[in-house]
Amino acid sequence: MTPFRKAREADREMRMNGTTELPIETVAARRIEPADGNIYVSDQANMVKTSRLNSGEQETLRNLIQGPVAAMAAEQLSGLLDAGLETDIRYKSVIAEMYERILAPDARIKDHLAFLDGEVRSSFKSNGNPVALPPTAMKVMLLEAVARELGKNWSCDAASFIDVTIASARLQAIAQALTTEAARDRSGSTAPFAVIFLPVDEQHSLMSYLTGALFQALGWQQQVVPHESLSEFEFAKVVTQADVVCIAWSTTYLKSNAIQLINNIRLYSSHKKLPIIAGGAATLDFINPLVEMGVDCICDSALSAVKTAESFYNLEKINHFAAQEGRDAKRRKSSIDRHSQ
């Protein structure tokens, strides 16, 4: 019996018996299946701890994670959750013009913001809101598309180092301005909190700030945090407050720093199962250690990261509600039993 079928059989048996809690291996196996349109890299460390899977089944599952799942994760996840605007022909000309504006020598941040605002308003007027996102989120998505175009041109030597450096700095400044705009439009202390961590020595922070801006635009509170910028006490406090953590690193040279960051996150979130979402150019080179350390998902776009975080957050709310209902039911039953004696 395959690990997936074994998980299904265990799930069916528990439903027939009225059991509400799924064993660890059932949850992990179901995360890998794209039945709901989401592809997850599951917690292999938890999978190994259970006795329901023998060593052969564990190895089969590991091969699946390292093989087809790893290959699909970054390439297809954002396409399954939401493709970037660079794939939408309706925004092709806007992205191209924004790209040219970013590289213009006399470019100013307020001019870029005005251009984005006008284009998004015009797009909503002519196309409606085809991706069902707030205006500020659309602006962030356009910036991400420009950043991807910049990266593509850099990789094929169509953009110089100076162009990339200047454009990246400008895009990051615009992303931070949009974060402020979103925070002003969507204030509220009850919003979930996402932390985007950068490993020590990570120099490429643009995508992290774009992801943070999109979190803010979609109703979250967020903070982009270089690992070395916090004391141990401050780091522990931020992790304790977080509802989800994202990490990203751009080069394989930062592998050990990224591993240390994940270990520290797990250390200070041991009292709860804090979802960790990984991204960045270097992540696919380390699927196995990421899985073993409990990284829950790998994403290759800001929107896929936010949508995945929303799924984890909503699932946690459901689990918390169900657990509370169970405790209340036990108290009611205990009270009835006492009165009947």
The region of weakest confidence among 9-18, 276-285, 325-334 is 9-18
The rounded distance, in Å, linking the Cα atoms of 151 and 304 is: 19
240 neighbors 264 (Cβ within 8 angstroms): no
Supply the CATH classification number for the domain 83-322.
3.40.50.280
Residue 336: the pLDDT is: 59
Please tell me the predicted confidence (pLDDT) of residue 145: 92
**Is 255 strand, coil or helix?**
helix
What pLDDT score was predicted for residue 242?
93
- Whether residue 24 is predicted with pLDDT greater than 60 in this model: the reply is no
Tell me how far apart the alpha carbons of residues 169 and 167 are, in angstroms, rounded to a whole number. Answer: 5
Q: How far is CA 144 from the centre of its chain?
A: 15
The per-residue pLDDT for 252 is: 84
Q: Is the pLDDT of residue 7 over 60?
A: no
Q: Where are the beta strands (DSSP E) in 91-134?
A: none
pLDDT at residue 141 in the model:
92
Whole-number pLDDT of residue 91 = 85
Specify whether the CB–CB gap between 268 and 12 falls below 8 A.
no
User: What is the tens place of the pLDDT at every residue in 70-106?
Assistant: 444 434 443 444 456 777 788 888 999 999 999 998 8
In whole angstroms, what is the distance from residue 234 CA to residue 250 CA? 25
Q: How confident is the model at residue 128 (pLDDT cuts 50, 70, 90)?
A: low
Q: Is 12 exposed, middle or buried (0-12, 13-18, 19+ CB in 10 A)?
A: exposed
All CATH 3.40.50.280 domain ranges in the chain, comma separated = 83-322
Percent of all residues in the chain with a pLDDT value above 90, rounded to a whole number: 30
For the chain, the average pLDDT equals: 74
Q: Per-residue pLDDT tens for 230-245?
A: 889 999 999 999 999 9
pLDDT at 146 over 60: yes
pLDDT of residue 330: 59
What digits encode the pLDDT tens for the residues 197-255?
A: 999 999 889 999 999 999 999 999 999 998 888 889 999 999 999 999 999 888 888 88
Residue-wise pLDDT for 38-68, tens only, equals: 333 333 333 333 334 555 655 555 555 444 4
